[in-house]
Amino acid sequence: MSEQDFDKRVCRTCKGDKVTRLEGFTALDGTVYAASERKCYACNGEGIFPKVDVDGIRQLLLASKGKNKGKLRAAMTSPVYTQPINEKRAYYVWRLARFHGGKDPRMPMMADLTSRGDPFKKDLDLMADAMAKESFGTDMAAAIRWGRALGAL
């Protein structure tokens, strides 16, 4: 195996086919929806995901001006499916870092949706933990808060 084999992985949503297939069905009101194919939303129709660009993602995560310059951004827009994979990954890492660091205690549902199909998700989770520790001093705030709420602690 060459080094290039580790530079990219097959999309988990389309399995490398570059399209997402939707089965046809009939709704309860009798409306018939035909089967269809669309460009895969997870990999933007590429079929593969490139390896994680840590430096590129960090650059998207850190504020470039203002009082937060050089620190984790205070706000970030949730990406739509058609945006570049690095922007989706940056949003995922940013949102999970805020969640684990205790800055934003709401469940990061949109972050999970933007990273759907990404075979490097575990690497992004590790990056989010590191960003939470760097930015907020901990990556366990959410676990403590939600553990109490769910009766685990």
Give mean pLDDT, residues 112-122. Answer: 93
Q: What is the pLDDT of residue 2?
A: 44
Task: Please give, one letter per residue, the 3-state secondary structure of the chain.
Answer: CCHHHHCEEECCCCCCCCEEEECCEECCCCCEECCEEEECCCCCCCCEEECCCHHHHHHHHECCCCCCCCCECCCCCCCCCCCCHHHHHHHHHHHHHHHHHCCCCCCCHHHHHHCCCCCCHHHHHHHHHHHHHHHHCCCCHHHHHHHHHCCCC
Indicate the range of 6-15, 17-26, 65-74, 142-151 predicted with least confidence. 142-151
What residues does 72 pair with on adjacent strands? 62
- Check residue 86 and give its pLDDT: 93
pLDDT reading at 4 higher than 90: no
Using a 10 angstrom Cβ sphere, with 0-12 exposed, 13-18 middle and 19 or more buried, the burial of residue 65 is exposed
Residue 152: pLDDT band (50, 70, 90) is low
| pLDDT the model gives residue 147 | 80
Is residue 78 scored above 90 in pLDDT? no
How far is it, in rounded angstroms, from Cα 91 to Cα 68?
17
Residue 68 has pLDDT above 90, yes or no: no
What pLDDT digit, counting tens, does each position of 11-59 carry?
999 999 999 998 999 999 999 999 999 999 999 999 999 999 999 999 9
Domain limits, the chain: 1-51, 52-153
Are 118 and 42 spatial neighbours (Cβ–Cβ below 8 Å)?
yes
When pLDDT is cut at 50, 70 and 90, the band that residue 143 belongs to is confident
